[in-house]
């Protein structure tokens, strides 16, 4: 039995933020795909027009570093989003002790992450939920951003499921202070957390609550971030100075730390942009980023 007369259902891959994800075969192309089933049953009128327009925009975002949205259709009270199937993700790579990550490999993963973000930011689409398990990795080592723009279409995943607490570790300080006018800088902060995680091989800022999350890095001073006191959920913290990055990342190069510091700028107005980050000398100095197909151990 085919779904939408086209997709042959295989096993369930997992439960995500918005619903079940399962593997399927696209009988039209023979391609293996991952289908994300999003519950829309309760909304009588189905998916609203804004959501449909956004989905159309995502379908048009074609780039080597963004997961392709192949198809989207409603079926039995669920919206089905069809993506290209990916073997693994960056979280699994970071956790796998058998995988050695050289400085050039780390540079390559960060560069692919930023390249994907740059394409989306150019079209004013924010990711808003960047974390290593949303960075999928294809058979030839290519890293692709997944779940792009879904937060904007289907609502912020923050309060949805308990497993989402992990996303807190990647949340920019302006989001922790409840800003409603966030921009591309939230994705830069998350990318900085992922950069740090690649260097450390474990999540960097593991706050146990939103309040705790901000202090995990050290708290900003008013001169570092003049506007913070005007944010909706601003609370005065006891000042915790951030430790020097050099002491936390003893093995990182000076270029790596310089870029990391610019991405970890508290004030979103002066935080480095994705485009500026890609132009940082870290990416042009030796060692050059590993070419993707040399990244994963070949079978």
**Residue 67 vs 252, nearer CB to ligand ADP:** 67
Check binding of 13 to ligand ADP (CB under 6 A): yes
Angle at 97 between CA 95 and CA 98, to 5 degrees: 125
CA 200, distance to chain mean position in Å, is: 18
- Does residue 129 carry a catalytic annotation? yes
17 near ligand ADP, judged by CB under 6 A: yes
- Kindly write out the interface string for residues 172-191 of this chain, putting x where it contacts ligand ADP by CB under 6 A and - elsewhere: --------------------
Assess whether the previous peptide bond of 75 is cis (omega < 30° from 0).
no
Whichever of 72 and 256 has its CB closer to ligand ADP, that residue is 72
Give yes or no for a contact between 80 and 73, defined as CB atoms under 8 angstroms apart: yes
Strand partners, 7: 3, 26
146 contacts ligand ADP (rule: CB under 6 A)? yes
Question: Which residue in the set 65, 111, 113, 134 belongs to the binding site for ligand ADP (CB under 6 A)?
Answer: 134
Q: Cβ of residue 227: shortest distance to ligand ADP, in angstroms?
A: 31
Binning the chain into helix, strand and coil, the percentages to the nearest 5 are 40, 15, 45
Q: Which stretch binds ligand ADP (CB under 6 A): 53-61, 128-136, 169-177, 286-294?
A: 128-136
Stretch that binds ligand ADP, among 14-22, 45-53, 118-126, 268-276 (CB under 6 A): 14-22
Q: How far is the CB of 57 from ligand ADP (least distance, A)?
A: 19
Among residues 26, 129, 147, 187, the one annotated as catalytic is 129
Q: Binding residue for ligand ADP (CB under 6 A) from 7, 24, 26, 34?
A: 34
- Specify the DSSP class assigned to residue 56: H
**Beta carbon nearer to ligand ADP, 147 or 174:** 147
The CA distance from 107 to 278, in Å, is 11
Q: Which phi-psi region, left, alpha or beta, contains residue 114 (left: φ > 0; alpha: ψ -120 to 50)?
A: alpha
Tell me the H-state helices in the chain: 49-60, 90-95, 103-122, 150-154, 173-176, 185-200, 210-215, 245-248, 254-263, 274-278
Tell me the catalytic residues.
Answer: 129
Q: Which spans of this chain sit near ligand ADP (rule: CB under 6 A)?
A: 13-14, 16-17, 21, 34, 36, 67, 83, 85-86, 89, 133-134, 136, 146-147
């Amino acid at each position: 039995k085919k779904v939408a007369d086209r997709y042959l259902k295989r096993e369930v891959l997992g439960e995500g933020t918005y619903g079940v994800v399962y593997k399927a075969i696209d009988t039209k192309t023979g391609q293996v795909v991952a289908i994300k089933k999003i519950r829309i049953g309760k909304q009588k009128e189905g998916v609203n027009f804004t959501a449909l327009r956004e989905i159309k925009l995502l379908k048009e975002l074609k780039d080597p570093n963004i997961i392709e949205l192949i198809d989207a259709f409603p079926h039995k009270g669920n919206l089905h989003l069809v993506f290209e199937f990916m073997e693994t993700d960056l979280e699994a790579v970071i956790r796998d002790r058998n995988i050695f990550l050289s400085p050039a490999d780390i540079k390559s993963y960060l560069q692919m992450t930023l390249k994907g973000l740059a394409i989306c930011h150019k079209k004013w689409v924010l990711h808003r939920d960047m974390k290593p398990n949303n960075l999928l990795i294809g058979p030839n080592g290519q890293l692709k951003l997944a779940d792009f723009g879904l937060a904007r279409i289907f609502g912020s995943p923050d309060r949805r499921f308990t497993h989402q607490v992990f996303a807190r570790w990647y949340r920019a300080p302006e989001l922790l202070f409840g800003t409603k006018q966030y921009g591309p800088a939230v994705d830069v902060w998350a990318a900085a957390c992922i950069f740090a995680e690649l260097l450390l091989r474990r999540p960097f800022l593991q706050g146990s609550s939103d309040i705790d999350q901000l202090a995990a890095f050290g708290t900003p001073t008013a001169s570092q971030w003049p506007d913070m006191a005007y944010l909706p959920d601003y609370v005065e913290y006891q000042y915790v100075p951030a430790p020097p990055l050099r002491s936390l990342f003893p093995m990182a190069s000076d270029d790596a730390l310089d870029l990391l510091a610019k991405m970890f700028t508290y004030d979103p107005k002066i935080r480095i942009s994705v485009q500026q980050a890609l132009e940082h000398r870290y990416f042009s100095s030796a060692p050059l980023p590993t070419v993707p197909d040399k990244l994963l151990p070949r079978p």
